[in-house]
Structures are given as structure tokens and as C-alpha cells.
Structure 1
Amino acid sequence: MAGRTADGLLGADDPAPVGLFNAAGPSPFLLIGDHAGSGVPAALGDLGLAAADRGRHIAIDIGVHGLGHALATLLDAPFLHQYYSRLVIDCNRDPEQLAAIPAVSDGSRISGNEGLDATARAARVAAIHAPYQAAITATIAARQAVGRATILLSLHSFTPVMDGVARPWEVGVLHWLGRTDFAQAMLDALRTDAALAVGDNQPYRMDATDHTVPRHAFAHDLPYAEMEVRQNLIGDAAGQHLWAQRLARAAQTAAARTGYGSNAAAGGL
């Protein structure tokens, strides 16, 4: 599907910013992937980055695209995700903040993001950030209109080492305000496997820097959890499938324990 936009940022051969897999999935889970893609609009070239940098964690949540599709299949849930790189614009940041279009990330200079004027920034918001957030809003509204429950499950991944410090967690559950009971139940469900290193608001604490979950889960009083899986564990299809199974079991257990899972798909688990 072409992604042409009136502002000209996305050309006829650029993909649309939003991907939606298994749109009709009947389960209460709605999966989202803010950083699942690494695409760059043709008009922006390579953002001044080498290919190696464009494949690093600074550009994409490694493994989330495959993990999201595998998990959506197991849960029979929709997976709505972003196609373009977080370095073009970070859809999990307030677009008014400078951090939404970083000029430096984990020591790498992004020269294509330097010195952008208001018009250039607004073009990225209009072409990518706004349609992605609007798609989430519309999907939640459509589910509410037919009386379908929604548990928002946001999928992210994290690098094993940051600033020279190793991160021991294999998976983290992030939460902040609103209906945190589902996230707490996810923590409990994952921790039944004593072999897993499960972080509570690790390796990041959800706070006001996050944009997507606060914007949609808090505003609509939805149960939610933001999941962080260590990238070296989901870098290939085998790891993605294994972690999809783990997350599906935990999510269904958490939904049942919190009373949100009455129409959860069995998923064969």
C-alpha cells in the first residue's frame, strides 16, 4: 500500500506508516508496536546514518515485528504497528518534544535530523506520527462501539547493554497510572517461571516521557501493560515464537485473574 501524503514527505512508493495484522481478531487484546519498523521515507535518504546504525536498537525495536505477529496469531488479536524508524520520528514521544526527532542517539549522530525547522518537523508528524496515533484511536473506538473489551499490550524490546552497563532482565513489565492491575498480574504470571529474570518497570520506568500508552490507555481507562523483551532473545524467528508463547500464556492468565479475559481466545495454549 503506497503511503503518499499531501505534504510530499511520503512518495508513491513509500509504504503507509501503519501496519495492521489480523484486524478482525476477536480477543480482548490489542497489540501495538511503536518502534516495530526501520523504514525511512525515500525523501529523507539514509538520515546520514550508516547501514549498521540503521539496524541498531537506536533505529528499531529489534525483534518486535516478528514477535508481534507471532503473539497476535497465538492470541487471535490485532497487531497495529509502525513501519517507519523511531529516528524518523518516535511515535512513543510527544511530537512537540525535541526528543521525538533526535539528532544524537546512543552516541550516533543523525545528521539528517539536525537543524530541522518547524515545517520539516511538522511534515514528519503529519505523515507518520499522527496517522499512527489516529489508527490506534480509531481501532479502540471501533471496538468500544461494538462492546468489545480492550486490553492494550504495547510491545517493545531493549538492548542487552546500555552505556556499558549490562541489563540482567529478560523481560520487563512497564506501568504507571490508570488501571495497573493487569500489568501487575502480568508480572505475577511471568514470575511463576523462576528461571526468568522479570523486571518491574525495568529496564525503564514508565513516566511522562512515554506517549502512546498514556495517551490511549489512561484516556480510555483501559487495562494495559507495556512489555520490554531483551533484544538478543528475540533476534530470530525461533526466539520470537518462544517469547510469543510465554507472553501469550502470561497475558491470558493475567486477563483471567483480573476479570478482563472473558472473551479471550484460547489460542491453543
Structure 2
Amino acid sequence: MQLLAGDEAPTVANVNPEGAGDVLLVCEHASLTLPRALGTLGLGPEALVAHIAWDPGALAVARQMSRSLDAHLIHQNYSRLAYDCNRPPESDDAMPALSEIYKIPGNQDIPTDERDARIAEIYTPFKAALEKTIAARKAAGRKTVLVTVHSFTPIYKGNHRSVEIGILHDSDSRIADVMLEEGGRRGGYDIRRNEPYGPADGVTHTLKLHGLENGLANVMIEVRNDLIANEAGQEVVASFLVDLLRKSMETTT
């Protein structure tokens, strides 16, 4: 099976690829677009624009950060309902049959050829793009700090989340530690470590595969999406995060 037609968007998008900054930004859940071959996956209009399909506001924040940091940003052009690029192929959450309160009919019992096509045409090119970029930066002797940008829903399975910004890490907490300390000192947001998700939830795949395995300082940022629902909020949050990142890089890299 071929998943993507020739006139559909490429899997990977690069923003400011010539950026001279030390940060490499990644946004795995940037888009809610589904490949045409998958139709609507049996979902209604409400679900197709909900958080299960993408991270609302995350790409806009990442773009703002890219401009401020002169950072290369790599993001995904397809919905995580087709393939979640922050999950390895063996993970059930890579092509979730159930997400939050939604059952996803088109992800139930996916035929092998379709599953293989999703991996080959979405995950593999995204993984390869990150590998190639990091290898090129290493070869050029460039410092790299890997930063992934996400958003989360304020209400999860009927429960309100009071946390506003999550600073997530796996076994390397260097960047996260300083960001949390600096964020707490500045105030203004409810900032927490490894919330509303953490390594046990399988959310650090990109950090582990592309950060830890390459010896790169790394961090994952989660922003509650009601804070970044419009341009003004996106600018404020992006500026705050950039300041925290700059402080952490001064201290740890």
C-alpha cells in the first residue's frame, strides 16, 4: 500500500534550517492533517480537531521560539492519529485505537500493509530527518540542545489539570532542572516536573532516541493549550520559555 499520494505534503517540514542557534526544536504533533487514503478514520468533525489529533498551539509556539533563538525547527505535517512520531513502531500508542475518550475506528485492527505504510511514509522519514540533521551538526562541530514542544488539554477524562507548563525529561535532567528552578523563581505559571506526563507514559521517545543516544542535552516542554489558544498567548508563553532555555543553556552547556 502507498499511503501518501504524490500531490500531498511531504512528511517533514523544516523551519529556519540554516539557523545558527544551538537549539534544535522538534514538534512531533504539529498538524491535524490526515493522509487522504485514511479518510476520517471513522471520526466525526469534533474529534478531528481535538487534542487527540494534534497539539493545538504547539507549532505556533515552536515557530516563535525558532525566531527568537535562531533555531532550526523540524515538525511533522500529519496527524498523530495516522502515526504518533513520538512513539516507536512497536508501541500501541504509535497508531492508537483509543485516545482519551475517543475510540478510533480506522485504527482498529489495521491491516499489516497499511501499518507498514504508515511507518515507512510517516515515522521513518521523520526519524531520518532528525538523524541527518543531528549528524550534520555534529560533523560541523556544532553544539546542539534538543527541545521538543507540545501542548496538553486542560480537561482530561473529565478532570481539570491545574498544571500550566510541564518540563519533562528522561534520565538527563540538566536542562529541565535549571528551567524548573528559573521558572519557579520568576513565577507567573504553575510549572511542574514530568507533568502532566512523564517517562513512564512513554512520552520521551524522541528525547531518548535522538537526545540521549547522541549525548545531547535535551528537554520536552508541555504547555496547557488554553494558554496558547491565540497569537497573544503564544507570544507570551514562547518568550517565557525562551528566557528559561537561555538561562539553562548558560548554566549547563
TM-score (norm 2): 0.96
Q: Which has the larger share of helix?
A: 2
Aligned to 2:37: 43
Aligned to 2:240: 246
1:28 Cα deviation after fit: 0.6
1:194 aligns with 2:194: no
State the superposition RMSD in angstroms.
1.1
Pairs aligned (count) = 252
Structure 1 distance, partners of 2:235, 2:107, is 35
**Structure 2 unpaired stretches of 5+:** none
Classify the secondary structure of the residue corresponding to 1:207: helix
Aligned to 2:99: 105
Classify the secondary structure of the residue corresponding to 1:192: helix
Q: Deviations over 1:188-233 (max 9, x none)?
A: 1211222211011111112372311111111011101100000000
Classify the secondary structure of the residue corresponding to 1:121: helix
1:97 Cα deviation after fit: 2.0
Aligned to 2:114: 120
Q: Which moved more, 1:121-130 or 1:187-196?
A: 187-196
Aligned to 1:265: none
Aligned to 2:197: 204
Identity of aligned residues (%): 37
Aligned to 2:175: 182
Query: Partner letter of residue 134 of structure 1?
Result: A
Please say if residues 69 and 242 of structure 2, whose CA atoms lie closer than 8 Å, have aligned partners that are also in contact: yes
**Structure 1 unpaired stretches of 5+:** 1-6, 261-269
1:80 aligns with 2:53: no
Structure 1 distance, partners of 2:247, 2:129, is 28
Please say if residues 25 and 76 of structure 1, whose CA atoms lie closer than 8 Å, have aligned partners that are also in contact: yes
Please say if residues 169 and 197 of structure 1, whose CA atoms lie closer than 8 Å, have aligned partners that are also in contact: yes
Q: Deviations over 1:67-91 (max 9, x none)?
A: 1111100111011011111110111
Query: Partner letter of residue 87 of structure 2?
Result: R
Classify the secondary structure of the residue corresponding to 1:120: helix
Structure 1 distance, partners of 2:129, 2:190, is 34
